Amino acid sequence: MTELPYDPTIPLPPLAGHSSRGRLERVLRAGEFAVTAELNPPDSADRDEVYERASVFEGWVDAINATDGSGANCHMSSVGICALLTRVGYAPVMQISCRDRNRIAIQGDVLGAAAMGVANMLCLSGDGVETGDQPGAKPVFDLDCMSLLETIRKMRDERVFLSGRPLSAPPEVFLGAAANPFAPPYDYRPFRLAKKIAAGAQFVQTQYCFDIPMLESYMARVRDLGLHEKCFILVGVGPLVSARAAKWIRANVPGIHIPDAVIRRLEGAERQKREGRNLCVELIQQIREIPGVSGIHVMAYRQEELVADIVHESGVLKERKPWRGAVIDRHLSEQVATQT
């Protein structure tokens, strides 16, 4: 692991109109096309495993999601991963699932993470315990994604716990949520997004997109409602390994829509993994042109090493080079100079 030539514990200066000091919010509010990615958490207590997994994203993403027991399976905790990432200057997105902790524990985690420099939090209800490898676990669900958003927004903006007890210093965080334009009822999905925005969501990361016309239809309705002006929308993308894997995902993972045309394309390819990667690049390029889309969220489960090539070949960063610990690029540096 390469150490940085500066102290990453020194926070970036606050900017007017921002709710956090984080670089992801700076990138989005500067009008840049943002790129985030998902880190596959280790089944380990070895911090070097986290740094090794994060290093493949360096220079190619604006923030790294630390998942919170996704699929109801236990891994290193989201708050633990975020603590390690902030220590060396990465910009993490801490996912918070309502499945495993009550409101007391969650509010404490929010304060602890914010104190460590975590600037981005993604609020999720969480997968049911029956989907994981420990189905006998007791689910909590004291809050859901909506009430979790409202809770953290209240802590940040009103400087109080849910109980009304005051905070001496609020968490300075950029609030996110998940969205799925590709699951029925389709007409309801923009209104679901509107509810999350009303609850406090400032950005959303969507489920995998493999159907551009379906995304275009969703975004048209989002624009009609003016939601793209109230929330930054990052569309989920990822490479498919093979037609067989695509069929399994479509049949077994709720909420993921993969059109028959995509499967036929993979089936007809001599090198299916390579074709899945090419498809991902093409999807990103098409998504980039849809009005109202502010970025992409790359989920390359067990293929994290492909993220750099995918982002590079898509060209969405243009000449911008994300870098941990930096203010991102000249455009953002100039914005800092004029607002601080």
Residue 4 lies in a domain: no
Could you tell me the pLDDT band of residue 100, with boundaries at 50, 70 and 90? very high
Tokens of 71: 């699929």
Residue 92 lies in a domain: yes
Rounded-to-integer distance, Cα 32 and Cα 23, Å: 11
Could you tell me the pLDDT band of residue 339, with boundaries at 50, 70 and 90? low
Give the torsion sign (CA, 163, 164, 169, 175).
Answer: positive
Q: Count structural domains, the chain.
A: 1
Rounded-to-integer distance, Cα 213 and Cα 136, Å: 41
Average pLDDT on 265-276 reads: 97
Residue 219: the pLDDT is: 98
Could you tell me the pLDDT band of residue 5, with boundaries at 50, 70 and 90? very low
Could you tell me the pLDDT band of residue 114, with boundaries at 50, 70 and 90? very high
The answer to whether the beta carbons of residues 327 and 336 sit under 8 Å apart is yes
Residue 325: the pLDDT is: 44
Using the predicted structure, report yes or no on whether residue 169 has a pLDDT greater than 50: yes
The pLDDT tens digits of the residues spanning 318-333 come to 888 886 544 334 444 5
The 3-state DSSP class for residue 168 equals coil
Residue 99: the pLDDT is: 92
Residue 52 lies in a domain: yes
Q: Which of 58-72, 148-162, 181-195, 291-305 has the lowest mean pLDDT?
A: 58-72
Residue 8 lies in a domain: no
Using the predicted structure, report yes or no on whether residue 302 has a pLDDT greater than 70: yes
Q: What pTM value is reported for the model?
A: 0.91
Average pLDDT on 167-190 reads: 97
155: CATH: 3.20.20.220
The pLDDT tens digits of the residues spanning 117-140 come to 999 999 999 877 787 788 988 889
Rg (C-alpha) for the chain, rounded Å, is 19
Residue 338: the pLDDT is: 56
Using the predicted structure, report yes or no on whether residue 291 has a pLDDT greater than 80: yes
The pLDDT tens digits of the residues spanning 23-42 come to 999 999 999 999 999 998 98
The pLDDT tens digits of the residues spanning 271-286 come to 999 999 999 999 999 9
Using the predicted structure, report yes or no on whether residue 78 has a pLDDT greater than 90: yes
Residue 259 lies in a domain: no
Residue 99 lies in a domain: yes
The pLDDT tens digits of the residues spanning 218-239 come to 999 999 999 999 999 999 999 9
Using the predicted structure, report yes or no on whether residue 336 has a pLDDT greater than 80: no
Could you tell me the pLDDT band of residue 11, with boundaries at 50, 70 and 90? low
Average pLDDT on 67-78 reads: 84
Residue 205: the pLDDT is: 98
Q: What percent of the chain has pLDDT over 90?
A: 78
Q: What is the DSSP string of 61-121?
A: -SEEEE-SSGGG---S-HHHHHHHHHHTT--EEEEEESSS--HHHHHHHHHHHHHTT--EE
Residue 205 lies in a domain: yes
Measured in degrees and rounded to the nearest 5, phi and psi for residue 337 equal -60, -35
The pLDDT tens digits of the residues spanning 186-196 come to 999 999 999 99
Residue 326: the pLDDT is: 46
Residue 70: the pLDDT is: 79
Using the predicted structure, report yes or no on whether residue 143 has a pLDDT greater than 80: yes
Query: For the chain, percent helix, then strand, then coil, each to nearest 5?
Result: 40, 15, 45
Looking from the CA of 65 toward its CB, the CA atoms found within 13 Å total 31
Average pLDDT on 77-102 reads: 94
- Between helices 260-267 and 272-288, what is the axis angle to 10°? 140
Residue 265 lies in a domain: no
Residue 167: the pLDDT is: 98
Domain that holds residue 221: 23-237+291-331
